Amino acid sequence: MMIRVMNEQDIEEVLLLEKELFSSPWNREHFLFELNENPFSLCLVGIVDDQIISASCAWIIYERAEISTIGVHKAYQRKGYAKKMLKMIHDHVKKQGVSQIFLEVRVSNVPAIALYESFGYKVTKIRKNYYSDNHEDAYEMMAEVRYLVK
Among 48, 64, 77, 94, binds ligand COA (CB under 6 A): 77
Task: Please say whether the beta carbons of 45 and 10 come within 8 A.
Answer: yes
* Contact indicator for 40, 61 with CB cutoff of 8 Å: yes
State phi, psi for 104 to the nearest 5 degrees.
-120, 145
* Cα–Cα distance, 147 to 4 (Å, whole number): 25
Which residues within the stretch 5-24 sit at the binding site for ligand COA (CB under 6 A)? 21
The reply to whether 3 sits near ligand COA by the rule CB under 6 A is: no
What is d(CA 56, CA 4) in angstroms, rounded to the nearest whole number? 11
Q: Does 80 bind ligand COA (CB under 6 A)?
A: yes
Give the nearest residue (CB) to ligand COA. 82
* Interface region with ligand COA, contact rule CB under 6 A, candidates 7-15, 81-89, 93-101, 123-131: 81-89
39 or 133: whose CB is closer to ligand COA?
133
Cβ proximity to ligand COA: between 73 and 145 the closer is 73
Residues in contact with ligand COA, counted by CB under 6 A, come to a total of 19
Single-letter residue type at 41: S
